[in-house]
Structure 1
Amino acid sequence: MRKMNGEEFDELVGFFDSMARTSWLSAVHDRIKQETGSWLDKKVIDVGCGTGRLLLKGADEAQQLTGVDLSSEMVKGAVQNFFFHNRSEKSSFLIGDACELPMEDHEFDIALSTCVLFLLPEPIEGITEIHRVLNPGGVTAMLNPSPEMNQLNAHQYAKRNDITGFELTSLLKWANVSTRRHRYSQEELTDILSSLHFSNIRHVEVLDGLATITIAEKVSEI
């Protein structure tokens, strides 16, 4: 499969930043933050960080926040957002491939990855890298579209929840991309993570089952 190119996303910075601030995705980010527990004095990495909106939710707690994104323009957007919120001193953002993270082993306590795994040509490579950079006992939280995610179901969800305008457009765009890439059942995610030496795997359905937050703990080396 072809390797992903960061330039594909450079022109979408405004779209993704606005999408991260929608009521539906911001609420999912809040749930991810909740499910990973306290970030107090923790080193946290977001793989495929976009413009850094998820990391900002724990900026007052964490010891250090690191974002990696394939797009140089997304990284610039994240740096700008953290500067605007006066949190630059505890953050760093790097251009990098999720399948070849520019970090040493065992650097982080929490690793996040939202709306990324399903885009990767080889998702297992990305999860392997997350495992590598986590400390033993470290936690990962991933957000992925479920098999139920498609245009029709996304539109019905939006109708039930009075989601309109850009919020609807961005949700339908995610649904459209999902159907052309990867959608994972909870069983598939459990099998993948178990094979890569994660344990205590659990799943939280969000968006009425259109997507899944998966939380797991690193227990050993691969």
Structure 2
Amino acid sequence: MNGEEFDDLVHFFDSMARTSWLSAVHDTIKEETGSWEGKKVLDVGCGTGRLLLKGAEEAEAVTGVDLSREMVKSAVQNFFFHDKSKKAEFLIGDACALPVDNSSFHLALSTCVIFLLPEPELGLKELHRVLKADGTAAMLNPSPKMNQLSAHQYGKEKGISGFELTSLLKWANVSTRRHRYSEDELTSLLTSTGFHTIRHVHVLNGLATITLAVKSSSL
């Protein structure tokens, strides 16, 4: 993957982040990660910064990293528009080679990224590296239940239509072509990269999973 693949998709991803279904998932991620008060928070694959905006008011500082230069530009603009620029930094960078120092963050987020990586272990090792001791990683990945048929059925049940449904179906399509993680797979990957206290939260009626894990205080 390279950033230019996503440069022309800024409007699509920003609109997707504001859909009722993905915005609700972001709200759940914020709730499950608890208070960001006094914390330094990183979002790997931050897109246009919508998830970080959910907790920017209370966080000490937020940092977004994205492979796409245009996504980063849009995130900077969104934070400027919401008068949160002083708390935020956005960087162009690869999830497998993050341009940030070791042990820098209390919380590291990564939504819709790990399932795209050819070597997910590299991305998880980077999350581990940049977290402080006892820091938390929170990820969002499609589950084995995710496919276009099940996503369409979910949309029908929830009355989702138009762009909201189209974006969900596109995520389902990409998921089936890349990877869909079971809880056991996620637990195994995180354990092997030095995380513990792993827990999973189902969202979208089980079509996706929020996974939270803690970096050992001894590392």
Q: TM-score range by the shorter chain?
A: over 0.9
| Matched-pair contact (CA < 8 Å) for 1:197–1:220 | no
1:151 aligns with 148
Name the SS of the counterpart of 1:215 in structure 2: strand
- Residue equivalent to 2:27: 30
Q: 1:212 aligns with which of 203, 209, 214?
A: 209
The answer for the alignment partner of 1:132 in structure 2 is 129
Matches of 1:97 and 1:195 in 2, distance apart? 21
Which sections of structure 1, spanning at least 5 residues, go unmatched? none
Q: Which amino acid aligns with 1:87?
A: K
Q: Hey, what's the Cα distance between the residues in 1 that align with 2:9 and 2:139?
A: 22
CA contact (8 A) 1:147 1:184 kept: yes
Q: TM-score, normalised by structure 1?
A: 0.97
> Shift of the alpha carbon at 1:197?
1.1
Match of 1:19 in 2: 16
**Partner of 1:107 in structure 2?**
104
Pairing 1:93–2:90 present: yes
Q: Look up the equivalent residue of 1:119 and give its one-letter code.
A: L
Return the offset for 1:114.
0.2
Correspondence for 2:197:
200
CA distance in 2 between partners of 1:182 and 1:36 (Å): 24
Distance 2:22 2:66 in 1: 19
Q: Residues of 1 paired with 2:160 and 2:144: CA distance?
A: 21
Q: State the AA in 2 paired with 1:88.
A: S
Rounded Cα–Cα distance in structure 1 between residues aligned with 2:127 and 2:217 = 13
CA distance in 2, matches of 1:54, 1:70: 16
Give 1:69 shift: 0.1
Aligned-pair distance for 1:221?
6.5
Equivalent position to 1:186, from 173, 178, 183 = 183
One-letter amino acid matched to 1:50 = G
Distance 2:124 2:202 in 1: 20
Deviation at 1:59, TM superposition (A): 1.0
- Structure 1 letter corresponding to 2:213: A
Specify every segment of 5 or more residues in structure 2 that has no aligned partner in the other structure, as ranges: none
The within-5 A match list for 1:46-85 is 46-85=43-82
1:220 to partner: Cα distance:
5.0
Change (3 A) 1:221 1:181: farther
Q: How many residues align?
A: 219
Q: Give the match's secondary structure for 1:51.
A: coil
Partner Cα distance (2:195, 2:102) in 1: 16
Residues in 2 aligned to 1:15 and 1:64: alpha-carbon distance in whole angstroms: 27
Which whole-Å CA distance do the structure 2 matches of 1:136 and 1:221 have between them?
7
Runs of 4+ in structure 1 displaced over 6 angstroms?
none
SS in 2 for 1:217: strand
CA RMSD of aligned residues (A): 0.8
Once the two structures are TM-superposed, the CA of residue 121 in structure 1 deviates from its matched residue by 1.4
